[in-house]
């Protein structure tokens, strides 16, 4: 922890009630100090070289491994509190660190070391008639605020990406992970200091007071971007309150459209994979659209696969008739189904007349996340790519590929449904900005 | 004008008082209709081909020239009202259309036709180990809201850029130009229709009720980006009210730093040009920083040039002593001077120890717009480019080059001081987004 901030923020033992407390004026002063300190550290981070930032990361990996026992002990405190508080098993699972998770964190940091440094890269140079050369330079954004829930590994993953991209970071983890996060933040600060970088370049908001989140997202003078990693409730709250731009996504209502010109075997393989490879991910298909001319051929076979895997089907009248005729259960989909991200073994199915209706359905009901067409018709594919207004649009591939690693970004700070700045899977570049650099020889404007 | 909207919006003759009116519930319904109609038109614009969008622009240029008499007549109505209302001469000047201004609008539109179409361009393709090919495609943003003050030519300039980039547009011009803007909007709608595009793809907010602006910037469901073109007061108001991202800049507090390793003649030429070529532009230098070792050599000569051109000088103690010793008047600069965009023949001057102090001054007092160093020291130049946190950073060139045309963008919708999405001069690309396009051969995720 960064000493001056700890001094302002009372410790858990002093204020066992603080989850409920509002901190009065002190919290605002504390957050202001965190912001000011981060802004100051951002300058040093932006001017640090690649070697120095990588050295901090390598040192962090070393310290994570060396602090295994202490990390497990801190995590046990969190787990004990969570168990007493009666947290759900899934939450406790996400909160838990074990030796494997600690090793994975260390390896993750080492992978970030290996990524190309985006900072300082100059590109798109062109010589203008005036004599000046105009180019662009990639630079850090400045201060990145990361708001997340129970997983303590996010503390390390997010800090590593922010350090690599030359930013200062303010981390606001879930209150249930506070003991684990404090120790992880200490290790990060120690690693930064060992590499000659400011300890304050990564700060943990050291209070479980929920009002701290509201203050963090209302400091545009200190924070350049907010990355929320959490459920829809958190993100909707932040969208209402934030004065700072966010890299966020709310829903992944993803579609696969099986075109009349699809290869049937490929269509079935992709529609199966997009739904059933993992149910809980944002790039999982939630609605299947099938072109009417091929529905009778494809839907019964696909239905059998889904039924065998226990996927509940909800269809429009045509889909239901086709499925029920071959003995596969399919309830009636409601208007709400088309808008729902199930994150579960449930799939809604609609038979559409063709491409135009499929595009219209996706642009109406989808969440602008990831949508795929299966077709051998090049013109249909081109139109789908162009007209579907989503962050990732695919031809003949599973929606499950919408992922920073699969896209070759090397790492992923989040996925964005927004159309500005960063869209789709966001890697290191999403934590950078671009400025114009102009090289002259004494040119003046006439 | 677009018929259904005119039906909702009372005309000038019906409501001569409407500048003051609040429109009650009707205004909200009207703006909601404008937004919904724009969103619908955005779909058609995004899928229109280059030829079709260019045809609309060519037709617009033709109609502008053919409607010269009608435009001058409409503009005379605005001018008469402005004169009666006692508007300042500068405002009336900006409001005035003459035959030359109309021809310039038409030529501007024809220049936009010649620009490369950014829409649909696919780039950064790479083949991944999974077999999929991942690339990026440039696509329109959707709906662009443009809020501007008295110049009616902005109606045409902004509409042309938005049409070229495949967006729908909502224009909100100054109330003093309403008659001119209405006719211009009619011509734009007619040109769109002639090219087979929706008339509603460019809509003028057909009311002078100021509350319309507040509603326009609070419709993120309909409007993807707001481009405010106006004074600081307008932009500060929008920053408080807007729920939609903006491409904006507040201030241009630009600097030239003359380094100890500068070529003296080049430094004087650049510092002269950056200040005196035009006083009222945002990329004009407002503060000159001079390295102490060369101040005695450079400042008196520069001071004489500024004095001869009637530039008022305000300096720190060292600068004043050097200037006054050679008989050049220089008052004492206050803390406020360092933060001030004069937009006038006034210059603040500070003598700094060297590069580090210059960078610190710029990052403290500047507005992240445009800053230049004059130096023959490559290391100093590289450090300045990297560490000065501004949209445009220059070596050995006048700050006056920070401009969409000088940067080869072909046109400029605005200049952004922000670090996200668009930074510095913003051309057609600033009105576009990028999505991922994925080409597979039936790949599924394992």
Asked whether residue A442 is domain-assigned, the answer is no
Give the tens place of pLDDT for each residue, A188-204: 999 999 999 999 999 99
Q: Of A79-93, A129-143, A279-293, B372-386, where does mean pLDDT reach its minimum?
A: A79-93
Beta strands in B63-163 (DSSP E): 122-127, 133-140, 143-148
Structure tokens at A240: 């209402």
What pLDDT does B149 receive? 84
Asked whether residue B410 is domain-assigned, the answer is no
Instruction: Look at B386 and A425 and tell me if their CB atoms are within 8 Å.
Output: no
| B234 shares a domain with B322 | no
| A301 shares a domain with A226 | no
Residue B408 exposure: Cα atoms within 13 Å on the Cβ side: 15
Asked whether residue A367 is domain-assigned, the answer is yes
Predicted TM-score of the model (pTM):
0.87
What part of B 107-136 touches A (C-beta under 8 Å)?
A: 120, 126, 128, 130, 132, 134
Structure tokens at A173: 């983890």
Q: How many beta carbons lie within 10 A of that of residue B264, not counting itself?
A: 14
For range B79-101, the mean pLDDT: 93
CA–CA separation, B146 vs B278, rounded Å? 26
CA–CA separation, B394 vs A138, rounded Å? 15
Asked whether residue A424 is domain-assigned, the answer is no
**pLDDT score of A9 more than 70:** no
The CATH number for B295's domain is 3.40.309.10
| A180 shares a domain with A69 | yes
Examine the fold and report which residue of A241, A270, A300 is the final residue of a domain before the chain moves on: A241
What pLDDT does A346 receive? 98
A224 touching B (Cβ < 8 Å): yes
Give the tens place of pLDDT for each residue, B340-354: 999 999 999 999 999
A to B CB pairs, distance under 8 Å: 211
Give the tens place of pLDDT for each residue, B49-59: 999 999 999 99
Query: How far A396 CA lies from chain B's nearest CA (Å)?
Result: 5
| B314 shares a domain with B379 | yes
Query: How far A385 CA lies from chain B's nearest CA (Å)?
Result: 7
**Edge-to-edge strand ranges of the sheet holding B432-443:** A331-332, A312-315, A346-352, A285-291, A254-258, A370-374, A392-397, B432-443, B133-140, B122-127
**Per-residue DSSP letters for B302-350?**
HHHHHHHTT-EEEE-HHHHHHHHHTT---EEPPHHHHT----SSEEEEE
**pLDDT score of B9 more than 60:** no
Sort out which chain A residues have CB atoms less than 8 A from B386's CB and list them. 46-47, 120, 137, 139
| A205 shares a domain with A107 | yes
Asked whether residue B343 is domain-assigned, the answer is yes
Read off the DSSP letter of residue A152: T
Asked whether residue B381 is domain-assigned, the answer is yes
| B212 shares a domain with B86 | yes
The CATH number for B68's domain is 3.40.605.10
Q: Are B198 and B44 in contact (CB under 8 A)?
A: yes
B284 burial class (0-12, 13-18, 19+ CB within 10 angstroms)?
buried
| B188 shares a domain with B108 | yes
CA–CA separation, B295 vs A141, rounded Å? 34
B49 touching A (Cβ < 8 Å): no
Collect all residues with Cβ–Cβ distance below 8 Å to A139 and sequence separation of at least 6. Answer: A46, A119, A120, A166, A432, A433, A434, A435, B386, B389
CA distances in angstroms from B399 to A116, B58, B257, B374, B412, listed in the order given: 32, 34, 11, 11, 17
Range with the largest mean pLDDT of B241-255, B267-281, B399-413: B267-281
Provide the mean pLDDT of chain B.
Answer: 91
What pLDDT does A242 receive? 87
Asked whether residue A18 is domain-assigned, the answer is yes
| B39 shares a domain with B136 | yes
Residue of A nearest to B266 (CA): A442
Examine the fold and report which residue of B241, B263, B292 is the final residue of a domain before the chain moves on: B241
Output the CA angle A234-A237-A241, nearest 5 degrees: 135
| B390 shares a domain with B292 | yes
Percentage of the residues of chain B whose pLDDT score is greater than 90: 80
Q: Which helix (H) or strand (E) holds A191?
A: helix A178-194
* Full domain range(s) for residue A335: 254-401
What pLDDT does A24 receive? 52
Structure tokens at B82: 């402005």
What pLDDT does B24 receive? 52
Query: How far B326 CA lies from chain A's nearest CA (Å)?
Result: 26
What pLDDT does A25 receive? 63
Structure tokens at A442: 């004494």
What pLDDT band is residue A414 in, cutting at 50, 70 and 90?
A: confident
**By three-state DSSP, how is residue B376 classified?**
coil
What pLDDT does A293 receive? 98
**pLDDT score of B17 more than 70:** no
What pLDDT does A20 receive? 34
Among residues A328, A332, A274, A270, which one has the least CA distance to residue A301? A328
CA–CA separation, B70 vs B97, rounded Å? 11
Q: Which helix (H) or strand (E) holds B225?
A: strand B225-229
**pLDDT score of A10 more than 90:** no
What part of B 327-386 touches A (C-beta under 8 Å)?
A: 363, 372, 385-386
| A213 shares a domain with A108 | yes
Q: Are A437 and A137 in contact (CB under 8 A)?
A: yes
Asked whether residue B417 is domain-assigned, the answer is no
A240 touching B (Cβ < 8 Å): no
Examine the fold and report which residue of A241, A265, A289 is the final residue of a domain before the chain moves on: A241
Q: Which helix (H) or strand (E) holds B186?
A: helix B178-194
**pLDDT score of B368 more than 50:** yes
What pLDDT does B250 receive? 79
**Per-residue DSSP letters for B157-173?**
HHHHHHHHTT-EEEEE-
Among residues B393, B346, B336, B351, which one has the least CA distance to residue B368? B393
Sort out which chain B residues have CB atoms less than 8 A from A132's CB and list them. 394, 397, 401, 406
What pLDDT band is residue B90 in, cutting at 50, 70 and 90?
A: confident
- Indicate the residue of B46, B393, B408 with minimum beta-carbon distance to A437: B393
Instruction: Look at A142 and B266 and tell me if their CB atoms are within 8 Å.
Output: no
Which of B263, B438, B446 has the most A C-beta neighbours within 10 Å, making it the best mutation to test the interface with A?
Answer: B438
A322 burial class (0-12, 13-18, 19+ CB within 10 angstroms)?
buried
What pLDDT band is residue A2 in, cutting at 50, 70 and 90?
A: very low
| B265 shares a domain with B228 | no
Domain count, chain B: 2
For range B321-330, the mean pLDDT: 96
Q: Which helix (H) or strand (E) holds B352?
A: strand B346-352
| B259 shares a domain with B364 | yes
Give the tens place of pLDDT for each residue, A340-376: 999 999 999 999 999 999 999 999 999 999 999 999 9
């Amino acid at each position: 922890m960064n000493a001056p901030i700890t001094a302002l923020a009372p410790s858990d033992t002093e204020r066992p009630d603080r989850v409920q407390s509002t901190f009065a004026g002190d919290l605002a002063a504390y957050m202001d100090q965190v912001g000011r300190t981060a802004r100051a550290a951002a300058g040093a981070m932006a001017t640090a070289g690649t070697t120095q930032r990588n050295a901090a990361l390598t040192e962090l990996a070393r310290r994570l491994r060396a602090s295994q026992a202490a990390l497990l002990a801190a995590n046990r405190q969190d787990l004990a509190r969570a168990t007493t508080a009666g947290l759900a098993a899934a939450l406790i699972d996400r909160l838990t660190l074990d030796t494997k998770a600690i090793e994975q964190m260390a390896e993750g940091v080492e992978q970030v070391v290996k990524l190309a440094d985006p900072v300082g890269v100059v590109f798109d140079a062109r010589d203008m008639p005036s004599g000046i050369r105009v180019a662009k330079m990639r630079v850090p954004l400045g201060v990145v605020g990361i708001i997340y829930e129970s997983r303590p590994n996010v503390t390390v993953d997010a800090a590593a990406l922010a350090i690599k991209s030359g930013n200062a970071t303010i981390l606001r983890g879930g209150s249930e992970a506070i003991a684990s996060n404090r120790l992880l933040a200490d290790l990060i600060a120690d690693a930064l200091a060992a590499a000659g970088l400011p300890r304050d370049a990564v700060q943990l908001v050291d209070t479980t007071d929920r009002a701290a989140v509201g203050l963090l997202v209302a400091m545009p003078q200190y924070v350049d971007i907010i990355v929320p990693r959490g459920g829809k409730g958190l993100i909707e709250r932040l969208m209402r309150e934030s004065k700072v731009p966010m890299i966020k996504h709310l829903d992944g209502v993803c579609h696969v459209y099986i075109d009349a010109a699809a290869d049937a075997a490929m269509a079935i393989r992709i529609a199966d994979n997009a739904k059933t490879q993992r149910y809980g991910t944002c790039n999982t298909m939630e609605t299947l659209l099938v072109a009417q001319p091929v529905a009778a051929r494809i839907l019964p076979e696909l239905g059998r696969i889904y039924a065998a895997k226990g996927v509940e089907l909800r269809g429009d009248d045509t889909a239901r008739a086709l499925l029920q005729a071959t003995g596969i259960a399919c309830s009636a989909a409601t208007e709400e189904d088309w808008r729902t991200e199930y994150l579960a073994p449930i799939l809604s199915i609609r038979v559409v007349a063709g491409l135009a209706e499929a595009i219209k359905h996706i642009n109406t009901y989808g969440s602008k996340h990831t949508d795929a067409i299966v077709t051998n018709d090049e013109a249909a594919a081109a139109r789908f790519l162009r007209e579907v207004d989503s962050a990732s649009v695919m031809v003949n591939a599973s929606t499950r590929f919408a992922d920073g690693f699969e896209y070759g970004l090397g790492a992923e700070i989040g996925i964005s449904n927004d159309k500005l700045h960063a869209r789709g899977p966001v890697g290191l570049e999403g934590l950078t900005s671009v400025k114009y650099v102009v090289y002259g020889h004494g040119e003046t404007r006439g």
